[in-house]
Protein backbone atom coordinates (compact mmCIF):
# COMPACT_ATOMS: atom_id res chain seq x y z
CA UNK A 1 0.00 0.00 0.00
CA UNK A 2 1.07 3.48 -0.71
CA UNK A 3 1.67 5.93 2.07
CA UNK A 4 -0.93 8.65 2.52
CA UNK A 5 0.08 12.21 2.07
CA UNK A 6 -0.56 14.78 4.75
CA UNK A 7 -3.47 16.14 2.71
CA UNK A 8 -5.06 12.69 2.45
CA UNK A 9 -4.65 12.10 6.20
CA UNK A 10 -6.32 15.45 6.94
CA UNK A 11 -9.21 14.58 4.62
CA UNK A 12 -9.64 11.13 6.18
CA UNK A 13 -9.42 12.62 9.66
CA UNK A 14 -11.99 15.30 8.79
CA UNK A 15 -14.27 12.66 7.25
CA UNK A 16 -14.01 10.42 10.33
CA UNK A 17 -14.62 13.39 12.63
CA UNK A 18 -17.70 14.42 10.64
CA UNK A 19 -19.05 10.86 10.69
CA UNK A 20 -18.43 10.63 14.44
CA UNK A 21 -20.30 13.93 15.01
CA UNK A 22 -23.17 12.69 12.86
CA UNK A 23 -23.38 9.41 14.81
CA UNK A 24 -23.38 11.30 18.13
CA UNK A 25 -26.05 13.69 16.81
CA UNK A 26 -28.24 10.78 15.64
CA UNK A 27 -27.77 9.02 18.98
CA UNK A 28 -28.67 12.23 20.85
CA UNK A 29 -31.75 12.77 18.67
CA UNK A 30 -32.84 9.16 19.15
CA UNK A 31 -32.43 9.44 22.91
CA UNK A 32 -34.41 12.71 22.98
CA UNK A 33 -37.13 11.11 20.85
CA UNK A 34 -37.36 8.15 23.25
CA UNK A 35 -37.53 10.53 26.23
CA UNK A 36 -40.31 12.57 24.57
CA UNK A 37 -42.25 9.39 23.79
CA UNK A 38 -41.79 8.16 27.36
CA UNK A 39 -42.97 11.51 28.76
CA UNK A 40 -45.96 11.45 26.40
CA UNK A 41 -46.89 7.91 27.52
CA UNK A 42 -46.55 8.93 31.18
CA UNK A 43 -48.68 12.04 30.57
CA UNK A 44 -51.37 9.96 28.84
CA UNK A 45 -51.27 7.45 31.71
CA UNK A 46 -51.65 10.26 34.29
CA UNK A 47 -54.57 11.75 32.35
CA UNK A 48 -56.17 8.31 32.09
CA UNK A 49 -55.71 7.76 35.85
CA UNK A 50 -57.15 11.19 36.65
CA UNK A 51 -60.15 10.54 34.40
CA UNK A 52 -60.69 7.15 36.06
CA UNK A 53 -60.55 8.80 39.48
CA UNK A 54 -63.07 11.44 38.38
CA UNK A 55 -65.36 8.80 36.88
CA UNK A 56 -65.08 6.70 40.05
CA UNK A 57 -65.84 9.77 42.20
CA UNK A 58 -68.87 10.58 40.06
CA UNK A 59 -70.02 6.96 40.34
CA UNK A 60 -69.63 6.98 44.11
CA UNK A 61 -71.32 10.37 44.34
CA UNK A 62 -74.21 8.98 42.34
CA UNK A 63 -74.64 6.14 44.81
CA UNK A 64 -75.26 8.59 47.61
CA UNK A 65 -78.31 9.94 45.78
CA UNK A 66 -80.79 7.26 46.93
CA UNK A 67 -79.31 4.69 44.61
CA UNK A 68 -79.85 1.18 45.86
CA UNK A 69 -76.66 -0.40 47.05
CA UNK A 70 -77.91 -3.65 48.54
CA UNK A 71 -80.49 -5.95 47.04
CA UNK A 72 -82.63 -5.88 50.16
CA UNK A 73 -82.94 -2.11 49.76
CA UNK A 74 -84.80 -2.82 46.53
CA UNK A 75 -87.60 -4.66 48.38
CA UNK A 76 -90.35 -2.14 49.17
CA UNK A 77 -91.62 -1.87 52.69
CA UNK A 78 -95.11 -3.33 53.18
CA UNK A 79 -97.99 -0.90 53.01
CA UNK A 80 -99.93 -0.07 56.19
CA UNK A 81 -102.73 -2.41 55.14
CA UNK A 82 -100.39 -5.34 54.57
CA UNK A 83 -98.52 -4.59 57.80
CA UNK A 84 -101.82 -4.74 59.72
CA UNK A 85 -102.67 -8.10 58.19
CA UNK A 86 -99.25 -9.46 59.05
CA UNK A 87 -99.58 -8.43 62.69
CA UNK A 88 -103.09 -9.98 63.07
CA UNK A 89 -102.30 -13.22 61.31
CA UNK A 90 -99.50 -14.27 63.63
CA UNK A 91 -99.76 -17.65 65.27
CA UNK A 92 -101.03 -17.09 68.86
CA UNK A 93 -99.00 -20.03 70.12
CA UNK A 94 -95.81 -18.13 69.37
CA UNK A 95 -96.72 -15.34 71.78
Q: What's the pLDDT tens digit per position in 47-86? A: 999 988 887 776 665 555 555 555 555 566 666 666 666 6
So what's the pLDDT on residue 31? Answer: 98
So what's the pLDDT on residue 56? Answer: 76
Sign of the alpha-carbon dihedral angle for 52, 54, 58, 61: positive
Amino acid sequence: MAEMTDEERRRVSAYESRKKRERRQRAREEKEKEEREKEEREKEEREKDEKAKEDNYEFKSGLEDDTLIFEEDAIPEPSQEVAGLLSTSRDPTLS
